[in-house]
Structure 1
Amino acid sequence: MMTNATAAPARDNFVAFMTVFGSAQQVLKDWMQADAQQAQGLGPLHLHALCLCWRNPGGAQRQLVQAMGRDKGQIARMTRELEELGWLLRTPDAQDKRAWRLSVTAAGVKKCLWFEALETRLAGELFAGMAAPDHQRLAQMLVTLQAKLEALAAP
């Protein structure tokens, strides 16, 4: 259990982390909207979901729910919107007709490549000058934080 002496720095770090994350999301969204033709009104969350589907062709929609830490309804809306744009195919699962399998279309692949280029640009700007040991330490901390979040979210 945390004491008041350790709770304040932890809270400060959490606020700083959320601020940096939110700012990075906003920069990415701004860059996307600067190319409105490509973004078609969608934000980073939709494109992140699309890219996850691209990396896991034919994956189940429930896997996307788990990977993104979002509720089933939100993911269902996102995948439906991506399908309406012609970027994603949703097909019924062969064993469970209530479940969906997700595949990215050729047009969706182009969006993923465009989005990944934006992410790469932002990452390059954000982490420019960071030494390799700092990259490794940050990666380890993020893995630890993700594991703690998953444990907190578990029923």
Structure 2
Amino acid sequence: MHAYRSLQNHLLRDISHGITQMDSRVLRYFERHPGATLSDLAHYSGRDKAQLTRLIRGLRDQALLQSEVDESDRRSTRISLTAAGKAVQRSLQQQARQMSAKAVEGMSAAQQQQLRELLRRVNRNLEIP
């Protein structure tokens, strides 16, 4: 897992968006949940709201995220990706596909399937009841 994270961090630096690992997770979340709130992200990620506020502010400053006041609850702000954020997210997804292909390089289709099944089992074993 360390080699995977090291390569991921190296590639993140190389694509020159100035995106950190946590930034990429936040972008991925809002790509999958456009219009979600900071509270939604905090609940999903288990992270501290103050930390997430700083991350979101940084991504807004880079014009990757945009915020709109929720019309039904003016105290709440809905967050989504900007066009630039979507472009960066597409680049990050392409990078993830390349890393996944590299990770299973030299494995047969059967071995790759077995690996996926084993990883799913590990995830199930580690789920909190």
* Category of TM-score, reference length = shorter chain: 0.7 to 0.9
Task: Give the letter for the 1:65 counterpart.
Answer: A
Tell me the number of residue pairs that the alignment of Structure 1 and Structure 2 aligns: 125
Q: Which residue of 2 aligns with 1:90?
A: 67
Which of the pair is proportionally richer in helix?
A: 1
Q: Aligned-pair distance for 1:110?
A: 0.4
Q: Aligned-pair distance for 1:45?
A: 1.2
The TM-score, its normalising length taken from structure 2, stands at 0.84
Counterpart CA distance in 2 for 1:23 and 1:57 is 32
Aligned counterpart for 1:74 among listed residues 46, 51, 57: 51
Q: Which residue of 1 aligns with 2:5?
A: 25
The TM-score, its normalising length taken from structure 1, stands at 0.71
Query: Which string of whole-angstrom CA distances, capped at 9 and with x for unpartnered residues, describes residues 4-28 of structure 1?
Result: xxxxxxxxxxxxxxxx2x4422211
Residues 85, 143 of structure 1: alpha-carbon distance in 2 compared, 3 angstrom cutoff: farther
Who wins on radius of gyration, i.e. which is larger?
A: 1
Task: Give the letter for the 1:140 counterpart.
Answer: R
Counterpart CA distance in 1 for 2:46 and 2:21 is 15
Unpaired segments of 5 or more residues in structure 2? none
- CA RMSD of superposed structures (Å): 1.8
Q: Aligned-pair distance for 1:96?
A: 3.3
Counterpart CA distance in 2 for 1:43 and 1:78 is 10
Counterpart CA distance in 1 for 2:43 and 2:104 is 28
Unpaired segments of 5 or more residues in structure 1? 1-19
Q: Which residue of 2 aligns with 1:56?
A: 33
Q: Which residue of 1 aligns with 2:88?
A: 111
Which consecutive aligned stretches of 4+ in structure 1 deviate over 6 angstroms post-superposition? none
Q: Which residue of 1 aligns with 2:14?
A: 34
Aligned counterpart for 1:141 among listed residues 112, 119, 122: 122
Q: Which residue of 1 aligns with 2:24?
A: 47
